[in-house]
Amino acid sequence: MIPPQEASARRREIEDKLKQEEETLSFIRDSLEKSDQLTKNMVSILSSFESRLMKLENSIIPVHKQTENLQRLQENVEKTLSCLDHVISYYHVASDTEKIIREGPAGRLEEYLGSMAKIQKAVEYFQDNSPDSPELNKVKLLFERGKESLESEFRSLMTRHSKVVSPVLILDLISGEDELEAQEEVPLEHLPEGVLQDVTRISRWLVEYGRNQDFMNVYYQIRSSQLDRSIKGLKEHFRKSSSSSGVPYSPAIPNKRKDTPTKKPIKRPGRDDTLDVETDAYIHCVSAFVKLAQSEYQLLMDVIPEHHQKKTFDSLIQDALDGLMLEGENIVSAARKAIIRHDFSAVLTVFPILRHLKQTKPEFDQVLQGTAASTKNKLPGLITSMETVGAKALEDFADNIKVLSLSPGPPAALGAVGRTARDLSQELLQRAGHQEGLLVSCQYPLASLSFPGAAEPPGGDAPAPFSCSVSLACVPEGPDPRLPGGGTKSRFWKRGCSFHRMIRTRNTTCPRMALCMSSQATPSSSYSSSWTSRRRQGPCWPPKFLGTHTIFL
């Protein structure tokens, strides 16, 4: 049993704890009441805020939308103003650019082309938006004036800066093919670099924007004139130099140039010298045409659009090419007339020219690649004409010898016919220089011939008929093993009733040629005439006869 004192103490302790718990509960209750009050106040404030925000939103949203509309309107206004400024600028183009167009593009091509671009845009605008406006006519007129000024500037630049190529420079250019040692190619500057750039820009603008091809005609006319004048200047250079003792070549190459095909070791005064100069000049003009035409095509590629280059080049070279072909035809015509008169000296200019034309034909074909068929066929036609007249000349040459031998009257010793044949043959030998060589043989009977050193024919006092043969042959290098001393010089060779004379001429630009004249006793007086020709097959003796009535040129 618990003592009363302990029970009393225990009770007081429990009562104290209960009192404390009641106080704590009362504090919590008061705190909850305050918290509820604060919550209510906060909810009230938030509700008020929400209400105010809703009112504010309702007030701001219309303002925002209105502001967006205003901003859009502002942008539209700015764009409209910009478009108006742009359109208005088209109305001012004529007045702004008129001074520049009037003064022309000389010295300020960049600025001028910029003004032309503005005018072109104005024309396009008025054509699309206001085709009936007077401003369209104004800018169109200004554009045409500007285009004409560009064409005029193109013509002016080409005229002022296109110079005739000097004969010395042309000869230096041609000499590159004849030099044994490799030399640096001679440059040709037809137009200065700055001028070439301006001309190229103008041509491109005219093709792209001007839609005008008249400048191409201007280009080929000017360049064609310069090409023709350059070739004529070279020809005149040869004529002026013909009276001097020196060869009319460039001083830059005095000791290295080979002889031309027409340069001969024996010069005869008067008409022959003139023929040599004219032949030499024509040959060099042909080579000059090839080189200058190649250079012109390189220049044309920079100036003329690609799809117009071949046609323009064809027109450009026509005058110079026609001049060369006409001169060649004149040479052929003169040779034909000379053949009719039995004057064989004029025809001798044909052979070196023919040789050179054949050598140059591959380069000609390459230069004329892409041109019209009529242009390409001009050189082959001239070559054919020269081959024909050359063959005719050789035929009449031998016929002339035959006629002289059968002419009435007391014939002299071998001299009457022999000297004539010898002179004509020597002339042909000295002047022909043909690459492939020529061999013509004609035999005819001669009666009662006598000549010093010839053995008496068998059979008594009555002289036997003789046959005289004159041959023009291509003789290979080296001595003839059948002739005494090798036949390296002019010498007489006697063997029975035969008389041989070997005459050799040396030409550094053609095969070695020989004139063989022989008079031999024949058992009968029968007459025979044969024509033979051969191509040079190599250094072998004797020359081979390949057939009759044939001539190879």
For residue 380, cis peptide bond before it (omega within 30 degrees of 0): no
Q: What is the mean pLDDT of residues 341-369?
A: 86
pLDDT in tens, 193-208: 899 999 999 999 998 8
Which residue in this structure is represented by tokens 């100036």?
Answer: 303
Indicate the pLDDT class of residue 449, thresholds 50, 70 and 90. very low
> According to the per-residue pLDDT averaged within each range, which of 332-346, 461-475, 491-505, 532-546 is highest?
332-346
pLDDT in tens, 248-266: 444 433 333 333 333 333 3
* 269 compared with 44, residue with greater pLDDT: 44
Residue 351 has pLDDT above 70, yes or no: yes
Percent of the chain with pLDDT over 90: 36
Indicate the pLDDT class of residue 34, thresholds 50, 70 and 90. very high
* 235 compared with 342, residue with greater pLDDT: 235
The predicted pLDDT at position 213 comes to 78
What is the C-alpha separation between 226 and 361, in angstroms, rounded? 23
Which amino acid is it at 269? P
Q: What is the mean pLDDT of residues 240-245?
A: 66
Which amino acid is it at 449? L
Residue 454 has pLDDT above 50, yes or no: no
Indicate the pLDDT class of residue 462, thresholds 50, 70 and 90. very low
Residue 450 has pLDDT above 90, yes or no: no
Listed in sequence order, the residues at least 6 apart from 489 whose beta carbon sits closer than 8 Å to its beta carbon are 504
The predicted pLDDT at position 5 comes to 83
pLDDT in tens, 13-22: 898 999 999 9
The predicted pLDDT at position 273 comes to 52
Indicate the pLDDT class of residue 244, thresholds 50, 70 and 90. low
What is the C-alpha separation between 293 and 230, in angstroms, rounded? 11
* 87 compared with 553, residue with greater pLDDT: 87
pLDDT in tens, 492-513: 222 222 323 333 333 333 333 3
The predicted pLDDT at position 285 comes to 92
Say whether 438 sits in a helix, a strand or coil: coil
Q: What is the mean pLDDT of residues 76-91?
A: 90
Residue 291 has pLDDT above 80, yes or no: yes
Say whether 493 sits in a helix, a strand or coil: strand
Distances 163 to 166, 265, 349 between C-alpha atoms, Å: 9, 37, 32
Indicate the pLDDT class of residue 382, thresholds 50, 70 and 90. very high
* 486 compared with 106, residue with greater pLDDT: 106
The predicted pLDDT at position 405 comes to 57
DSSP state of 137: H
For residue 261, give the nearest of 183, 352, 358 by alpha carbon. 352
The predicted pLDDT at position 300 comes to 92
pLDDT in tens, 125-170: 999 988 888 889 999 999 999 999 999 999 999 999 988 898 999 9
DSSP state of 534: -
Least confident of 96-110, 218-232, 441-455: 441-455
The predicted pLDDT at position 421 comes to 52
Q: What is the mean pLDDT of residues 273-299?
A: 86
Residue 525 has pLDDT above 60, yes or no: no
The predicted pLDDT at position 484 comes to 43
The predicted pLDDT at position 429 comes to 52
Domain 168-389 has CATH 1.20.1280.170: yes
Distances 537 to 75, 389, 474, 497 between C-alpha atoms, Å: 94, 24, 10, 31
CB atoms within 10 A of CB 481: 9
Indicate the pLDDT class of residue 422, thresholds 50, 70 and 90. low
Query: Six-digit token pair at 514?
Result: 């020989």
Q: What is the mean pLDDT of residues 74-78?
A: 94
Judging by beta carbons within 10 Å of its beta carbon (0-12, 13-18, 19+), is residue 24 exposed, middle or buried? Answer: exposed
Residue 28 has pLDDT above 50, yes or no: yes
The predicted pLDDT at position 219 comes to 93
What is the C-alpha separation between 501 and 511, in angstroms, rounded? 20
The predicted pLDDT at position 230 comes to 93
> According to the per-residue pLDDT averaged within each range, which of 25-34, 181-190, 410-419, 421-430 is highest?
25-34
